[in-house]
Structure 1
């Protein structure tokens, strides 16, 4: 298999989700961050999934696999559009500003902008129309999940959907407008990053949320009963993160039906991701070889079983359609030789997390000396504690062992592990921004197996020391990642 273009040279990257920017949106702070990356010689910006989230804010349980999160829209950039016009707005009221933007666009947008909007709606119609109706209905029914709506709606009876579309036309128009603005702002930011030599590294969860436009619109592709309820769910068995496993609660695919349709659902999903990103991390890659099936009534993920998935057929189909794909396989957790064969068959880089390197023996695959070129090395991920939080939680003997494994570097933590990542033979090295900023556990993004208090961390510009860009650039240059 041929390497995808982003994997033909060494890169240094930083992991920072859009919500962790000071402004938490696609506005001025995002562009300033690109400038910082370019100054530091960093050529990869990794983000988490970009879809609209539920109330728990998890980007891994989105309301759509195609849509962008309207909460990431920069309201400041929106009101500066020429068609918005000069008028007083309260940027603290996001819903009101977006509603006003939709109205003013309909009245004042010029012909070119209207044509761009029409082209967007036409090109994205394969998911957009279901999504905007889903969101309008969800808002109408107090944000309750679709499987609690009136039966005729969740069963998508034709005349009922037609009547709902006519009644909720204004809400649907606003949702179309929001998606247009999101993709327009995202495209501008991505182009700015690419122009400055920075690749956007995105993230694609393998599974989708039960309460999502995708499951509502195409329930035939998911393991549901006649009432839209789950009979079996996704998760993982006990692992490094949890002694009882992780009970994700996502619906499982009916792979036989998806494969019988030529994997059209996945071809469309990949089309959206390739538009958004230059590189895509495939979360829970091992689920394409076999996935952990849990009874929906089970309280934990301990009792379940592995079920084979048609990953080889899927990736052959994707490559036949799109060519060599810029995918990274998230191959953490319970990895079997069969999963490794699937990953290597399609020449997909895997992941090496340095925080996992110091348990076990000399054959631990995360130890720096055991890295391979075709992989991405991380100090930690969004699911890990920061380097300092992790390191300070270790016993004195274990901390000494870590330094011994690293050859007793002169640098203290976290820079000792950051330099180790940049030094690695791995083609890509990506460091969470929290580690770059030398933060402790207060900077942790997510604690797997919990639903409270996650996904809320953000940095501020005062935390960036005046010499930080120079310090990073020295590492990038020293280890040939410029």
Structure 2
């Protein structure tokens, strides 16, 4: 079935409180998707973010980001007032997120709502906590202890609680009991509001594509609460961490720092944790995109303490055995494999054996020096085509940067020498839309014709990423009408 949609992170939605949320603007965006003939909304990971603001480095793979809780909904429920919300400085720009201000004030206003909620008497809240106890209690305890230690990562905590000694766990649970309930309350609000938004999307025949990173963060409740899952020593210090080797883009490679999985342990438990993770993801989303798919075939292992990724080595991943377990326990789930980058024959075989669609990005197709798998005439149906992703420049920003030979290749391939540079994004959108790929997803910034100012992330850099926001009413009626026409024209 041919279908299409848009890529827009929740954080990038317009809102009056500094960051996109599950507010009326999210519902309005779903209405736009419906009126433009789209059937998919792809978002980025929903987890709570920390230092660096990356949704791919979250404090929990199961928890939701409290920043996305709609404050206006809490106003309607009588838990806070509009006046209380308006006294805070949420940032001066409606095009960029000021994370420092969001961090300083979001929890302050949410704590007021919590104090007035008397939530501990709610049967629904108690039922939610009991149902999600297997991850929720550890997360709430983790965040409460993290606050107690001034935001430090768990590997810097006192040794008794870092190693989860029973007496220490009881001590902190008692000492921080109110904070623990507060963090559980935030997850209850997140879950309630997200489920309402997702239900609205589904009623409009819009499917949500969620995104899960292959790895969890070192600074996370997942790692602290489940040390057996990871390559940690007896003191719970990492033995090796994740990254990418040196290549043409980086002489020293990429040092991500995520703890690596102890795959032998996962195998011995029949991949129980992974099954739970995927199953939980399908309660949040309709389709799941798994980031860094090649890591399941082989993963790059860097000794802990190294300052670069130079001295790493490739190690074998779980391969098809993991995906056979997922299929056996969960059936044929709808997964997209992020298979970008350098692919070996064994990765291609793994992707083929799973049957999952891989990704095709048009910005990777036009290198005049060589033939590319990303050129549309090389596609099969079972793939998802993008003009670009959250890690790419916008199409216009990218086109301005490439050399003359590559530009000529683009123009010749699309047989359109009359294109204006500031309109070239529509040529690439049409190229993606008319390809044989079953699914086509276009970042909203490309529909808006934005340049580099609309870029979300520059990989391997820290600071000034994940801040872009769409201005209110950016998608005009004229643009929506054009999108709908193209969608119908290309049978999506």
TM-score (normalised: structure 1): 0.93
Partner of 2:102: none
Partner of 2:476: 465
The one-character-per-residue Cα deviations of 1:338-366 (angstroms, maximum 9, x if unpaired) are 11111111210000000010126674110
Partner of 2:278: 270
Whether contact under 8 Å (1:75, 1:94) holds in the other structure is no
Whether contact under 8 Å (1:102, 1:174) holds in the other structure is yes
Change over 3 Å in CA distance of 1:183–1:402 after alignment to 2: same
Select the residue among 183, 188, 200 that pairs with 2:196.
188
The one-character-per-residue Cα deviations of 1:160-196 (angstroms, maximum 9, x if unpaired) are 1011101101000100100000011100110111111
Partner of 2:96: none
Whether contact under 8 Å (1:147, 1:227) holds in the other structure is no
In the TM superposition, 1:53-452 aligns within 5 A as 53-81=49-77, 84=79, 89-90=84-85, 92=88, 93-106=105-118, 114-239=122-247, 241-359=249-367, 363-408=371-416, 412-452=423-463
Deviation at 1:302, TM superposition (A): 3.2
* Partners of 2:478 and 2:48 in 1: CA distance: 36
Deviation at 1:159, TM superposition (A): 1.3
Whether contact under 8 Å (1:242, 1:449) holds in the other structure is no
| SS of alignment partner, residue 343 of structure 1 | helix
Q: Is 1:36 equivalent to 2:32 in the alignment?
A: yes
Change over 3 Å in CA distance of 1:480–1:270 after alignment to 2: same
The one-character-per-residue Cα deviations of 1:27-51 (angstroms, maximum 9, x if unpaired) are 1111111111111111111001000
Whether contact under 8 Å (1:200, 1:279) holds in the other structure is yes
The one-character-per-residue Cα deviations of 1:264-300 (angstroms, maximum 9, x if unpaired) are 1111111221111011110000000110111223332
Change over 3 Å in CA distance of 1:368–1:240 after alignment to 2: farther
Change over 3 Å in CA distance of 1:327–1:126 after alignment to 2: same
Partner of 2:23: 27
Deviation at 1:87, TM superposition (A): 8.6
Partner of 1:3: none
| SS of alignment partner, residue 292 of structure 1 | strand
Change over 3 Å in CA distance of 1:200–1:56 after alignment to 2: same
* Partners of 1:327 and 1:409 in 2: CA distance: 38
Partner of 1:51: 47
| SS of alignment partner, residue 328 of structure 1 | strand
| SS of alignment partner, residue 98 of structure 1 | helix
* Partners of 1:85 and 1:209 in 2: CA distance: 33
| SS of alignment partner, residue 352 of structure 2 | helix
The one-character-per-residue Cα deviations of 1:211-247 (angstroms, maximum 9, x if unpaired) are 1000000111111223332221111123465343221
* Partners of 1:465 and 1:53 in 2: CA distance: 32
* Partners of 1:143 and 1:298 in 2: CA distance: 24
* Partners of 2:410 and 2:478 in 1: CA distance: 27
Gaps of 5+ in 2: 89-104
| SS of alignment partner, residue 388 of structure 2 | coil
Whether contact under 8 Å (1:387, 1:435) holds in the other structure is yes
Deviation at 1:141, TM superposition (A): 0.7
Deviation at 1:88, TM superposition (A): 5.4
* Partners of 2:225 and 2:206 in 1: CA distance: 36
* Partners of 2:212 and 2:344 in 1: CA distance: 22
